Amino acid sequence: MVQGGARHAAGHGPALTPRTAAEVSRRPRGSGGPPINDKIYIHEFITITRHNRARYMQHMTANFSPIAQEERHQLCYGVWGIVGSTAWWPGVVNLWEEDGFAGLASSFRHELSHPALQDPKLESWWAAAADMRSGGVDRLLLPAPWTRTIEQLCADGVRGEVYAHEQITVPPGQAADFLERVREEAVPYYGRFGWVLAGAWRTALGDDSECFLLWAVPDLERWAEFEAAYDADRATGGWKARLRASARSFQRILLADAPLSPMRIGRQPGRADRAGDWAE
């Protein structure tokens, strides 16, 4: 697997040291450093019908994303299958990257300026998708200013065998402060097990009380090692206690990359990735 630019095969290479893992997420801001992340993200929990998860993930990445990239500059951040033993099933998580609120406004207008409130060009796509899913729940997410964009993550070679997706609620108004504590305290602890913080966000359009974290986990062995240590509260550096004190709720689930998820393939999905006779 590839973690923050250090390449090794799953289960066969050294874990990132705490210092390395922290440095990967602690990118400098301002002059001379990488630009501040001013994107906005659409996070989607999707409920899949019957045995359609593989078809749906292909439909989202290869059939939809190339159109969204061209017409809206909406990038695919990731499409993952939910590991059912850790949450409901069958399910998928989609995450899309937009050019801030202004870009999102343009994207909304692209959809909403038609009588059906959908882009007519995607009519056949919507019809096909309706046979694969029963619905979903979306959120708009604001990134921590230091979290990397999908292009930066792909350039850095960040990838996991699985991903730990954490959803946390905190008292109203404290989400941004919580993300800073994650950066300073959680990143070094998780980094002891080779986990890399891929994304850190807070939910928009609310009371600033919800956060999402995404960790790239190099392999399942280090996921198991982490969970055993976390459950026993070994070597957490006090993070587990502080999390319990500051969070009103917390849930960690596992995700697995779709075949064309960008961190897996190191790029955006394209039309050349389409299978069968799909036509726009």
Q: What is the pLDDT of residues 214-251, one digit of tens each?
A: 999 999 999 999 999 988 876 566 788 889 888 999 99
Judge contact between 203 and 212, C-beta under 8 A.
yes
pLDDT 10s digits, 132-146: 899 999 999 999 999
Residues 163 and 199: their CA atoms lie apart, in Å, by 11
Whether 3 shows a pLDDT value over 80: the answer reads no
Which residues have C-beta within 8 Å of that of residue 119, sequence separation ≥ 6?
Answer: 71, 110, 111
Number of H-type helices and E-type strands within the chain: 11, 10
Read off the pTM.
0.86
pLDDT at 186: 94
CA distances from 75 to 70, 94, 139, 261 (A): 9, 11, 16, 11
Query: Higher confidence at residue 254 or residue 34?
Result: 254
pLDDT at res. 6: 36
Q: Report the 10 Å Cβ neighbour count for 40.
A: 21
Domains of the chain: 15-263 (3.30.70.100)
Question: How far is CA 225 from each of CA 2, 11, 17, 274, rounded to the nearest angstrom?
Answer: 19, 12, 15, 38
AA identity, residue 18 = P
